[in-house]
Amino acid sequence: MKITNGYVNITSPGRNFITLKIETDEGIYGLGDGTLNGRELAVASYLTDHVIPCLIGRDPFQTEDIWQYLYRGPYWRRGPVTMSAIGAVDMALWDIKGKALNTPVYNLLGGKSRDGVLVYCHAFGKDIDAALEDVAHHKNLGYRAIRVQSGIAGLKSTYGVAKGPGRYEPAERGLPSEYEWETEPYLRSVPKLFARVREAFGEDLYLLHDCHHRLTPIEAARLGKELEPFHLFWIEDPTPAELQEGFRTIREHTTTPLAVGEVFNSLWDAHDLIRNQWIDYIRATLTHAGGFTPMKKLADFAELYHVKTGCHGATDLSPVCMAAALHFDTAIHNFGIQEHMPHTDETDAVFPHQYYFKDGYMYPGDAPGLGVDLDEALAAKYPYQRAYLPVNRKIDGTLTDW
């Protein structure tokens, strides 16, 4: 089999998505997600201008060789744009392989290691009472694991809480808006939030919380310690992880499990975190970390150190990545949990898919390949619209991590 053509689809059914389609001489095609929130067109150009021309004529079954060609070949390595582009190619090639062999991708990765994939959803509210209502709503939908975020008194906006009615969506159309941040009120509020959640819902729910890279290691250590009585499944991105050693401080002070990695694009971003056992869950995604080929290696490496996976699954990853993640989660041994932020009906219609949610778990379906498609005629009705993630400033005006 030979790759004969490839092109990038850009669509915006509510938010922007970059999808790579790779076609072959046997009529089989594969899809890959290359969406990088707020920097979508850079990945589209990387694919169209630099990657696709090098793919024509290659054997799509050679996923390892093609991955190495795209990673080592250009000399310039890593970075979110490069790795999202490589991730899209790798995903599309595994989709082709599955379709050609008439089997779901999870069978190519080791077969089913579990029946269903435990997922967590997002609950939030402008204050603690509203967050509790949203937890109740999601519990009634059947979720067994719920991430909880709430507004902070005195701050106009915070991560994970929608500004208006409707679900939370991080990117906003137009140029970046500015959010406001102050650490101390946040640190005082989160333990109160989880005390109330446990009081209202008991011990059975798995509870998670995202700090979104906003704390220093010692602040995160304090938060982890104060959350210990509420037995969280994890705190996520407690501190930025460029300095992997920062996690040592957090680890030395608390037994609250730690998750990090949604912005990672390589095993090397997590190398010290994993081999020193400073984290419990690695959140790298198939799109941003370069596809199945390196993610399988990352998971296998993590397994040696008792680290499990908890793949990023925000709405800025398309249903193609969601499908890929569910095949991956079904197959690997050290799966921990999968994030699930449901897409809008418009997005689901553009990307018809086999995967589904039932009673707290998700299932990839048994269609050959990834089990997800792209309705290009419908996608064309939603042209690209510029959108950015917000930026964040401390109340004295200093730019800080969003």
Known catalytic residues are 159, 212
Residue 261 binding ligand CS2, by CB under 6 A? no
- When asked if residue 170 is in the footprint of ligand CS2 (CB under 6 A), the reply is yes
Query: Among the candidate windows 46-54, 221-229, 308-316, 362-370, which touches ligand CS2 by CB under 6 A?
Result: 308-316
The neighbouring-strand residues paired with 374 are: none
Q: Output 21 or 212, the one with its CB closest to Mg ion.
A: 212
With contacts defined by CB under 5 A, name the span among 92-100, 126-134, 210-218, 381-389 that binds Mg ion.
210-218
CB of 172 to ligand CS2, least distance (A): 11
How many chain residues interact with Mg ion (CB under 5 A)? Answer: 2
- Minimum gap (Å) between residue 165 Cβ and Mg ion: 23
- Does position 22 bind ligand CS2 by CB under 6 A? no
- The whole-angstrom distance between residue 101's C-alpha and the CA centroid of its chain comes to 28
Q: Which residues contact 307 (CB under 8 A, 6 or more apart)?
A: 274, 277, 279, 280, 281, 282, 334
- Distance from C-alpha of 80 to C-alpha of 263, rounded to nearest angstrom: 8
Query: 237 or 329, CB closer to Mg ion?
Result: 237
Does residue 314 touch ligand CS2 according to CB under 6 A?
yes
Q: Which one of 175-183, 227-235, 251-259, 310-318 is the stretch in contact with ligand CS2 (CB under 6 A)?
A: 310-318
Q: Which does 269 bind (CB under 5 to 8 A by kind): ligand CS2, Mg ion, none?
A: none
Spatial CB neighbours of 316, under 8 Å, sequence gap ≥ 6: 15, 35, 37, 170, 171
Query: Does residue 40 interact with Mg ion by CB under 5 A?
Result: no
Q: Which residues from 237-276 bind Mg ion, rule CB under 5 A? A: 262
Verify binding: residue 339, Mg ion, rule CB under 5 A: no
Find the part of the chain contacting ligand CS2 (CB under 6 A) among 45-53, 93-101, 131-139, 312-320.
Answer: 312-320
Residues 46-105 that bind Mg ion (CB under 5 A): none
Q: Would you count residue 33 as binding ligand CS2 (CB under 6 A)?
A: no
Residue 136 in the binding site for ligand CS2 (CB under 6 A): no
- Cβ nearer to Mg ion, comparing 99 with 312: 312
Interface residues with Mg ion (CB under 5 A) are: 210, 262
Residues that bind ligand CS2 (CB under 6 A): 37, 170, 210, 212, 262, 312, 314, 316, 339, 389
